[in-house]
Structures are given as structure tokens and as C-alpha cells.
Structure 1
Amino acid sequence: MKKVFAVMLLGLSMMSYAQVGGNNTGGIVWQAKEFSKDIATFRAKYFLFNHVLGKSEEVNTFEVIPLAAASSGDLTTLLYRSETKNKEGMILGFFGNYWNEAGVVYQGYAFKNFNREETFEFLEKISNSIEENKKFLSKSTDYNNIYFTYQDIDVLVSYSGSTRIIRLFWNGFDSTWDGTAFDRSKRRFERKIK
């Protein structure tokens, strides 16, 4: 009887720590670990040809170039270009932590696509908003904020000391895009696309 109970207990503990698929944001989950540009690039390729460029029986070419990963680990930006499909733009890779009923932590992710024109518009709106409100934002760091919505992304900007903090809220994700990563993404996108 003790052996049966021990086997049942072992089986129950294994079931309670089993990995679960999917999350409420439509992304995919995997065991929690630091997200990197390499992982974002790897996973973005499938998203690109499946959701942006479109599946095709013909052979097509495309590039995926990581622009920058935010130091928070919440956001990665990637440039894409396909001459055969005549499409280019930027993908925002969002990710965050989720817990199952057993308390096991997973990291979920999802991608947001901007075509070329939307990317320039989005990056300029953030830059211009910060520049136009620089005096207000720097007057009281951590307390003064600006916000706006671009498409379905809510953008919140504040300063922490002398650092710009850009938070993007989308599809259940709350990702921090520090000023350095934002500048790097914008500069690299403009240099490679123009």
C-alpha cells in the first residue's frame, strides 16, 4: 500500500509541474529564462513568413536583423526586409512572465508588426513627444509623465533620473524600452532602411 501511495504521489507531483501551452496573449510559452536578440531573431522568422510576408509555395527571400534589446529584457526590436515580397518594416518582440496553477514560471512572447511607414511614424511620434515635453518631463522625474496611443499600443514616457523610460502596453504585455535601446533601434532602422 505504501508503494502504491508513493507512486501516486510521484505521479501527482510530476503532473503539477508539467509545462502548459499557450497563454491569454496569443503568444507561445517556454520555461523562464532571459530573452535575447538571438532568441527573438530565431522566433521572429516564423512569425514573419507566417503572418507578415505570407506563406507561399514559391521560394522567397527575406532578412531579419536585430536592432536592439531593451536592458529590461522585455522588448526586442527587429528590422525585416523582403525584396521578393516588396515588404519591409520593424517587429517589436514582447515577452513577459506567466505562472501556471502549480506556480511554475514561464515566459510568453508575441510579436507586433509595423510596416515601413508605420515604423517611421511610430518612432517619430515617440521622439517628437519626448522633445516637445522635455521641460515638463525633466521638471519632476518619476512623477511627470506623458502618454498616447499609437494603433493598439499605449505609450507611457517618464524620466528616472536622467534616463528616459518608455513603457509600451500591448496585448497584456507591459514592456520597458529604455532611452538608449530606443535611440539605438531608431538610428539603426533609419540607417538600414533609408
Structure 2
Amino acid sequence: MKKILIPILVCCGLFSNAQSRPSTGAAVGVAAAATAVTFLAANAAKKEVAKQISQFRSKEYIINQIIGDAGNREIKFETESLASDDSGGLISVAFNCDEVNERGLLLAFFGENRDSNGNLGNAYAFRYLPLEEAQNVLLRLEKVREENSKYLSESSNVNNVYVQHQDIKFVFYRDFGNQIRVFWNGFEVIWEQTAFDRTKRRLNKWFK
């Protein structure tokens, strides 16, 4: 009888371990959702993903995180893609919803990040700035660039200027032109001058 029990117990142990493995994946998914970072398939085409983020995923974030539960209401809102980079970086989207009195700038960070296991992969996440705050941040960044233009141009990729807004960190430098490297929530992306200028100009024009 003992000889029969031993293999049965071994088999039960293996089956139990096999069933417990999916829970690890579920825990990773919960962690990713908690940090508001969405990881992409390794073979995802960046150009197509950038389009999806600016046109569709941004709306998903807006209705879930900014507008909230609609209940029985029909809520109207407007979005406008301001600037994007097909190869990754910062994607900017203007947003307005009179019915919940919310309007501002949605920054989509699109680039490499680390998951809860420490693995590096392409991902995206959104950071929302209400309109007045967004305009003040963009104006401040423009002034920092202008006031430190001489210092930055003296030595490309050597001289840097660092400023911070809440949990977003910005490093100004020159590398074949003015660049802003932006750090937030595990992302490190480049905000090119053309995309930055377009974001600032079009945001102000859209809300005139």
C-alpha cells in the first residue's frame, strides 16, 4: 500500500505546481496595471503603435482615468493629436470635456521600460497635465532652453541643464540640435525641439 501511495503523492505535487504557475503571470499583470504602464509585444511596429496610442489608447485613458463612470449620461469630449514621434518618445494629445470641466495635455511616454521582473521591453503610459499647469510647464521649459542656450551650445553632449516638475524630470542638452531628455515612471525618452515647439504652439491655438 505504501508503494502505491508514494507515486500518487508525487503526481499530486506536480499537478499542484503546474496549476500555481499562471498565478505568477496574473501577479505581473496586476503590477503592470498598478503602475499604469502597458507593455507591448516584442515584434510590435512602432509607427503603428504610435498611431494607436495617439488616436485610440489616449481616449481609453481619458474615459477611464479623467472622465470616469458615465452612468446613464452621454458625455461629449474632444481630443487632438498635437505631435508625435513614430520611433518612440513623447506623444502629445490635447483634451477637452466641458461636461466634467476638464481640459489639458496628455503626454504619452512611449519607449523602453522594465516590467516587475526587471525585463526590458517597449511600453507606454500616460501623464495628464491640466491646461493651466501644462501651459506653465511648457512656458517654463521654453525659457530654460532660451536662457541656457549659450551654455548648452558651448559643448554638445557635455553641458546639461536639469529641471523638474513634480514627478517629471527634464535634462536639456545639445546633440545635433536642442534636445530634452525626459524621465518619468521608469521611462527615459527624448522630446525633440520640433515636437516640443509644435506641442506648445498647437496647444495654445487649440484652446484659444
Instruction: Please report the TM-score for the alignment, with normalisation by the length of structure 1.
Output: 0.81
What residue number does 1:39 align with? Answer: 53
Please report how far the alpha carbon of residue 105 of structure 1 lies from its aligned counterpart in structure 2 after TM superposition. 6.9
Distance 1:100 1:38, change over 3 A: closer
Runs of 4+ with deviation above 6 angstroms: none
What residue number does 1:86 align with? Answer: 101
Q: Is the 8 A contact 2:113 2:186 kept in 1?
A: no
Q: Deviation per CA, 1:135-165, whole angstroms, max 9, x where unpaired?
A: 111111111110111111001010113x111
**Count of residue pairs the alignment pairs up:** 177
Please report how far the alpha carbon of residue 100 of structure 1 lies from its aligned counterpart in structure 2 after TM superposition. 7.4
Rounded Cα–Cα distance in structure 2 between residues aligned with 1:118 and 1:54: 21
* Structure 2: gaps of 5 or more residues: 1-21
Q: Deviation per CA, 1:68-116, whole angstroms, max 9, x where unpaired?
A: 0136512200000112222110000012235779xx9742211000001
Rounded Cα–Cα distance in structure 2 between residues aligned with 1:81 and 1:91: 11
Q: Which amino acid aligns with 1:108?
A: A
Larger Rg over CA atoms: 2
Candidates 50, 56, 80, aligned match of 1:65? 80
What residue number does 1:130 align with? Answer: 145
Q: Is the 8 A contact 2:169 2:184 kept in 1?
A: yes
What residue number does 2:157 align with? Answer: 142
Q: Please identify which structure carries the higher helix content.
A: 2
Please report how far the alpha carbon of residue 41 of structure 1 lies from its aligned counterpart in structure 2 after TM superposition. 2.4
What residue number does 2:40 align with? Answer: 30
Rounded Cα–Cα distance in structure 2 between residues aligned with 1:132 and 1:99: 35
Q: Give the structure, 1 or 2, with the largest relative contact order (CA under 8 Å, sep 6 or more).
A: 1
Q: Is the 8 A contact 2:161 2:172 kept in 1?
A: yes
Rounded Cα–Cα distance in structure 1 between residues aligned with 2:152 and 2:86: 21
Rounded Cα–Cα distance in structure 2 between residues aligned with 1:99 and 1:88: 31
Is the partner of 1:182 in helix, strand or coil? helix
Rounded Cα–Cα distance in structure 1 between residues aligned with 2:185 and 2:98: 30
What residue number does 2:184 align with? Answer: 170
Rounded Cα–Cα distance in structure 1 between residues aligned with 2:125 and 2:82: 17
Q: Which amino acid aligns with 1:30?
A: L
Q: Is the 8 A contact 1:72 1:177 kept in 2?
A: no
